[in-house]
Amino acid sequence: MFTPIAGRAAIVTGGTKGIGLGIAGVLAGAGVDVVVCGRDPEAGAAAEAALADRPGAVRYVRADLTRAGDCERLAAATLDAFGRIDIVCANAGAFPERRLEDLTSAEIDELFALNVRGAMLTVRACLPALEAGGHGRVIVTSSIAGPVTGYPGWSHDGATKAALLGFMRSAAMELAPKGITVNAVLPGNIATGGLEEMGEAYLAAMTSSIPQGRLGAPEDIGHACLFLATDEAAYITGASLVVDGGQILTESAGSMEAIGTAQAA
Ligand code: NAP
């Protein structure tokens, strides 16, 4: 049994949709008060309504994390709402498909501004509050794509997700004396609006390469974040937790066929 963390407060960036909404729902279900952010106020209101039945309160704060001032404002708004910040889930991100030969300088800058700089500035803005609580937790949403695997069309996205791991490791060292842990979750293919935009053929191909035979649910990532947020995870820092139904274990299509053979035998 884990020590309850009800009454603590979290920021989940990109918590209005997809994986972030799953993380926010699991944390609020454990009694954590959560601020979710995103650019779209309608999605923010929908997230607040969807999670209104959880024991933890859920508040939406509008923020565009490509703007440094919004990262600061998000931390300040969370302190205004809940008086503390114990957990920062730096999850907001985009993953547009673009082949390297078609990528523009502006597109690369835009993606790094959100996926990497936005995460770093949000964490930085929360540091005094994370230290004050005595059990600060930073959890970044990286990906299997980039740090572990590659996929044509996502070189810029993969670069940002690997960059987050570089950030995590050095930040984990800097913040260890302050009692703050910094870890990463590496989702595989999780069923979200962002992923569904890839189309049916992509989703079917991905599902066929996952040993557990299903796409992940946003709550699968939420449960991993909840674990990393507990007191019992205090000695885990600088770690990467893959949550992918076994997808990175797949050496080839042949290895997936062998599962079928084994199941049929
Ligand atoms: P999603 O469904 O598209 O949701 C993205 C969230 O980020 C939304 O809440 C969105 O809100 C917010 N967001 C986007 N741009 C923003 C900005 N400039 N400022 C603030 N918030 C912003 O995406 P997802 O699939 O849940 O992905 C979430 C994270 O998981 C991303 O970092 C992604 O790279 C990572 N990931 C996803 C998968 C997957 O299979 N889905 C796999 C590996 C890693 P607004 O649009 O309202 O701004």
- The per-residue pLDDT for range 99-140, each reduced to its tens digit, is 999 999 999 999 999 999 999 999 999 999 999 999 999 999
- 3: in domain: no
Letter string b/e over residues 8-30, b meaning 16 or more CB atoms within 10 A of that residue's CB: bbbbbbbbbbbbbbbbbbbbbbb
pLDDT (tens digit, 9 = 90+) per residue, 135-154? 999 999 999 999 999 999 99
- 19: in domain: yes
For the Cβ of 17 lying below 6 angstroms from any atom of ligand 1, the answer is: yes
Of 248, 252, 243, whose CA–CA distance to 148 is shortest? 248
Measured in Å, residue 19 CA sits from the centre of ligand 1 at: 7
pLDDT for residue 194 is more than 60: yes
pLDDT (tens digit, 9 = 90+) per residue, 242-253? 999 999 999 888
- 22: in domain: yes
- 210: in domain: no
pLDDT (tens digit, 9 = 90+) per residue, 28-42? 999 999 999 999 999
- 36: in domain: yes
Query: What's the structural domain count of the chain?
Result: 1
pTM of the model: 0.98
pLDDT for residue 265 is more than 60: no
Residues of the domain holding 42:
9-203+215-250
Which of 12, 95, 110, 112, when mutated, tests ligand 1's pocket best, judged by the most ligand atoms within 8 Å of its CB? 95
- 30: in domain: yes
Calculate the average pLDDT of the chain: 96
- 222: in domain: yes
For the Cβ of 249 lying below 6 angstroms from any atom of ligand 1, the answer is: no
- Domain of 66, CATH number, reads 3.40.50.720
- 122: in domain: yes
Q: Scanning the structure block, which residue is given the tokens 């597109």?
A: 107
Q: What is the dihedral of CA 9, 135, 171, 140, to 10 degrees?
A: -40
